[in-house]
Structure 1
């Protein structure tokens, strides 16, 4: 399978947006107004550059000297590039920046062999410059370099095309690529437009993705695989009745559910009352939960397929351990799981990583061989603390945008997407 990775340059490969730094440092006049119009979508980069070339000051040697003094790139990019080269994966750079500084920075880091495509600057007499756009697209004509066009051009040559980027000029390419590695505003754009992507901080994380072979999946339980909200509500109602208090409506349950039972009860009861309420809640819950618990849509089939594919499965849930195992037994899938860890099985509940550490040990897996799937910000924090990639599932407890704020490795559109991910290999 022939694969291509197209990378943005500014603030993706380079540590900072070098074009922005240069313009900010060497322009006279109202550069901020141009930048504001661009970021507000009033003008594209072609129009912005047409205005910039009139106010950019400095000859070629002065600008190149400045670039040489600020050549920093992501320190993990060279290792990433070498891995791709060794594996026969092509890497090319597509940038809406300027060619002269990209060329110089690649030279400094001994990466000149990487093909790159960018807007062209030509230095004239008297510190005059001309900027041209040899890679502009005809579809909208806004960007100096049409990255979407590059993906379309390479379609016949490659089986799959991945895109790596961070900003405004990367949006069209993100919609065209087979898969996206995104950060900064591009990550938000991908989430808002349901574009499958992985969040990344640096190229080491992308490299880890290319190498990763998922052997196991640890799931949160409630809200991820099953739903038992009615049983939870009945348990809470028993506590409220015991203390002669009026409970909130069932429709508001998700508002008040916290990371664990103690935190939930503490919103309504004193510390002394909480100690009494916990056994009351658990007693009532145990009476009703088996008949008030069901799989979320498609979860049972996903588990069955993952098991058939040889994926090791585990549970890390703040639900009381005995109840977690009882629910899985009642639903007929207890033998699917090599490890089921719940509250009371380890010293600390989520967001501490104890549950995941215990599950990994029972499953005989390293953190890099597994992923954690959950539906809350607490799950994201827990997985990260345990050193696992976290795949977040917006089933309703948190919105898609709320989960995105936690920067999970991936935000799933649905649970069924997991099967396609497991069967797909980047390399």
Structure 2
């Protein structure tokens, strides 16, 4: 995906699930339920480790590449239906909307970089209530290959015509950090997805914070204090 540069500004790319909204364990639960419907008894801990991948890669991770691929759509649809029952009660993480506004106030363009369905992204945006500072967003329909491949990060950059050097990615899983790194983008990671600090740092995160509120408190002492300057 390409686009015309909308402004000579840095771009802050935000993952949604587990980063701005407290949904990783809801995804774990609803994937577990969907898998059980089709006779797959997968421990929740194993599913949780794959949250952050797109459905295709998640199923590779939890069922193996030799699985019955003719079930993939049914499994993904079942997960989507089960997860949709939570839309009205999705809970933004403490400080999430304030963080987005603080980042925008410091000159960054805010882009939501998600591989969730358009319906899921819309539901999360309604709960975030920060439309005034969101410049663009992606959904799963924008890419063929999901995290940890770099395609989603590259698509998000393309929505505003930005280069990797212009950007920071904010996520919560090792898949976020790896995808950003493969796209040449630095990544800040949060612990709100249930992944340890050591794992996120080992994957290459340039900063790890407990949650959006802590990142907000530290914003002027870290990578988000100001966008990259252009000479």
TM-score, normalising length: structure 1: 0.44
Alignment of 1:47-66 (within 5 A): none
**Structure of higher RCO (CA pairs closer than 8 Å, 6+ residues apart):** 2
Matched residue count: 213
Q: Distance in 1 between matches of 2:119 and 2:167?
A: 24
Q: Distance in 1 between matches of 2:36 and 2:202?
A: 37
Work out whether 1:264 is the aligned partner of 2:53.
no
> Which structure has the greater CA radius of gyration?
1
Please provide the CA RMSD for this pair: 3.0
- 8 Å contact 1:214–1:371 — kept in the other structure? no
What is the CA distance between 1:409 and its match in structure 2? 2.7
Work out whether 1:217 is the aligned partner of 2:12.
yes
- Indicate which of 239, 247, 266 corresponds to 2:34: 239
Q: Distance in 2 between matches of 1:425 and 1:324?
A: 26
- Indicate which of 219, 222, 225 corresponds to 1:423: 225
What is the CA distance between 1:372 and its match in structure 2? 0.9
- 8 Å contact 1:341–1:359 — kept in the other structure? yes
- 8 Å contact 1:321–1:345 — kept in the other structure? no
**CA 1:375–1:258 in structure 2 vs 1: closer, same or farther (change >3 Å)?**
closer
What is the CA distance between 1:344 and its match in structure 2? 1.9
- 8 Å contact 1:339–1:362 — kept in the other structure? yes
Work out whether 1:284 is the aligned partner of 2:82.
yes
Q: Distance in 2 between matches of 1:425 and 1:340?
A: 19
What is the CA distance between 1:255 and its match in structure 2? 3.9
Q: Distance in 1 between matches of 2:13 and 2:126?
A: 17
- Indicate which of 116, 119, 124 corresponds to 1:327: 124
Alignment-derived partner of residue 380 in structure 1: 177
Work out whether 1:395 is the aligned partner of 2:187.
no
What is the CA distance between 1:300 and its match in structure 2? 1.6
Q: CA deviation digits over 1:267-302, x for unaligned, max 9?
A: 24632333321112112222x131242111211211
- 8 Å contact 1:320–1:344 — kept in the other structure? yes
Gaps of 5+ in 1: 1-212
Alignment of 1:269-418 (within 5 A): 270-286=68-84, 288-413=85-210, 414-417=214-217
**CA 1:372–1:417 in structure 2 vs 1: closer, same or farther (change >3 Å)?**
farther
Give 1 or 2: higher strand fraction.
1
- 8 Å contact 2:181–2:204 — kept in the other structure? no
TM-score, normalising length: structure 2: 0.77
